[in-house]
């Protein structure tokens, strides 16, 4: 894990009959290397369905407006680089203080300004101003009433 990206590397090559680009576009389904292990994960509820994980991951990346992941084969393995940590992707040039607010909201959908203020140990007036700026810039939105509503990443 890095400040601006996560790198995942797994040993073993992608099966020759699969094309990475088609896999990412959802035009091909992945092929489990060990069907018995895949069946165990499916039955245990750790998998929704066979062959859809990569496509769904890329849909989430697009949904959250993060830079595209980089998939490659290196050193006899399958390498995935996901961009957009604290300084990339979603932050779009925001300062560290604003990035902290966006990340808290991302991890705690529906959170209120008071709770953000308490978590960051910042005055509520400061947090309110920062939240209003993030709303104006289109990074977050508020849903619900004043009493029961909260903030969400756009």
Closest residue by Cα to residue 23 from 46, 3, 52:
52
Closest residue by Cα to residue 85 from 71, 69, 63:
69
Phi first, then psi: give them for residue 80, nearest 5 degrees: -130, 125
pLDDT per position as a tens digit, 8-59:
888 887 777 877 777 767 777 777 777 888 888 888 887 777 777 777 788 8
pLDDT per position as a tens digit, 49-103:
777 777 778 888 877 777 778 888 888 888 888 877 544 444 455 666 788 888 8
Cβ-contact 153, 64 below 8 angstroms: yes
**pTM strictly above 0.85:** no
| Helix or strand holding residue 81 (H, E) | strand 77-83
Confidence of residue 127 (pLDDT cuts 50, 70, 90): very high
Q: Tell me the domains of the chain and their CATH numbers.
A: 5-83 (3.30.565.60), 94-153 (1.10.10.10)
């Amino acid at each position: 894990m890095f400040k601006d990206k996560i790198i995942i590397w797994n040993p073993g090559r992608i099966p020759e009959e699969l094309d990475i680009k088609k896999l990412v576009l959802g035009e091909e389904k992945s092929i489990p290397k060990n069907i018995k292990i895949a069946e165990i994960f499916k039955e245990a509820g750790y998998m929704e369905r066979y062959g859809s994980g990569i496509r769904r991951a890329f849909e989430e990346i697009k949904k959250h407006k993060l830079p595209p992941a980089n998939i490659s084969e290196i050193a006899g393995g399958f390498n995935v680089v996901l961009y957009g940590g604290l300084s990339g992707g979603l932050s779009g040039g925001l300062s560290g203080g604003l990035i902290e607010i966006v990340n808290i909201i991302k991890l705690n959908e529906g959170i209120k300004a008071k709770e953000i203020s308490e978590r960051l140990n910042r005055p509520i007036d400061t947090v309110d101003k920062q939240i209003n700026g993030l709303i104006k810039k289109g990074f977050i939105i508020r849903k619900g009433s004043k009493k029961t509503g909260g903030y969400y990443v756009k």
